């Protein structure tokens, strides 16, 4: 799909409201750059599935659609970027979400580009309330816009572990959007002032959004 571009970058941030398509586009960026995806939401859900104290603490915030405290998130990232696969940079998905997180990140890791996927609020609720993903490979689907070819089976890896997230309900989505606008959206300007922001219209077909992301990144690569 799309133009093949040689992309050689350090870390990239995928930025945007919940349901903008960050997880979907992460798969494309990973295949083009080889960078591992680091999703703080996935890390928190994994911690919860393990039943760790951190996961249980985070659950209170996640269920309410609120941001988990910066100290917890920054601690997770500090540990994650020390792992071997992160030595050449990573693709951050859903991190940073506050100015404090971005400031902490700037001390830990060089960020080359921040890809902001913009989708209007009124589209977000429909997108999130119908979505599900593969617990084994992370492929993301939607009841109406992008269903798996065979119901209950992942197109990418044939797993039958297709799941919906506990916080993908209308009430929580509204809180998550509020948190996004008040705490996360100001980061776009913060990164724009540092010359790192690539803005992409996310209210289009998955492949069109992907092509724009790759062209935007090509302009930033070495």
Q: List contacts with ligand AMP (CB under 6 A).
A: 18, 40-41, 44, 61-62, 65-68, 73, 94-97, 101, 176
- Catalytic, out of 45, 80, 127, 176: 176
**Kind of pairing between the strands at 140-142 and 131-134:** antiparallel
Task: Give the whole-angstrom CA distance, residue 51 versus residue 57.
Answer: 10
Minimum separation from the CB atom of position 38 to ligand AMP (A): 10
- The verdict on whether 176 is a catalytic residue reads yes
To which residue do tokens 């799309």 refer? 2
- Catalytic, out of 45, 80, 97, 127: 97
Q: Which residue, 44 or 154, has its beta carbon nearer to ligand AMP?
A: 44
Distances (CA, A) of 129 to 105, 166, 167: 31, 11, 9
- The verdict on whether 204 is a catalytic residue reads no
Minimum separation from the CB atom of position 72 to ligand AMP (A): 8
Q: Which residue, 33 or 37, has its beta carbon nearer to ligand AMP?
A: 37
- The verdict on whether 60 is a catalytic residue reads no
The string of DSSP codes covering 142-170 is ETTTB--SSTTS-TTT--S-EE--TT-SH
Residue 100 zone, left/alpha/beta (φ > 0; ψ -120 to 50; rest): alpha
Minimum separation from the CB atom of position 129 to ligand AMP (A): 14
- The verdict on whether 45 is a catalytic residue reads no
- The verdict on whether 194 is a catalytic residue reads no
Task: Give the whole-angstrom CA distance, residue 98 versus residue 80.
Answer: 18
- Catalytic, out of 165, 174, 196, 204: 165
User: Token digits for 41?
Assistant: 């939401």
Minimum separation from the CB atom of position 70 to ligand AMP (A): 7
Could you list the active site residues? 22, 97, 131, 165, 176
């Amino acid at each position: 799909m799309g133009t093949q571009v040689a992309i050689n970058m350090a870390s990239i941030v995928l930025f945007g409201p919940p349901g903008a398509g960050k997880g979907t586009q992460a798969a494309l960026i990973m295949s083009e750059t080889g960078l591992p995806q680091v999703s703080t939401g996935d890390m928190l859900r994994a911690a919860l599935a393990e039943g760790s104290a951190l996961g249980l603490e985070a659950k209170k915030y996640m269920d309410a659609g609120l941001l988990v405290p910066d100290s917890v998130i920054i601690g997770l990232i500090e540990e994650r970027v020390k792992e071997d696969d992160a030595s050449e940079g990573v693709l951050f998905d859903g991190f940073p979400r506050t100015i404090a997180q971005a400031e902490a990140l700037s001390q830990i890791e060089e960020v080359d580009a921040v890809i902001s996927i913009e989708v209007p609020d009124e589209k977000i609720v429909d997108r999130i309330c119908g979505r599900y993903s593969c617990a084994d490979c992370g492929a993301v689907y939607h009841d109406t816009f992008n269903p798996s070819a065979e119901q209950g089976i992942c197109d990418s890896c044939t797993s039958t572990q297709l799941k919906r997230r506990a916080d993908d309900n209308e009430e929580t989505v509204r809180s998550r959007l509020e948190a996004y606008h008040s705490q996360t959206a100001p980061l776009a300007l913060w990164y724009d002032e540092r010359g790192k922001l690539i803005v992409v219209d996310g209210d289009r077909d998955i492949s069109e959004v992907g092509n724009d992301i790759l062209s935007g990144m090509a302009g930033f690569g070495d």
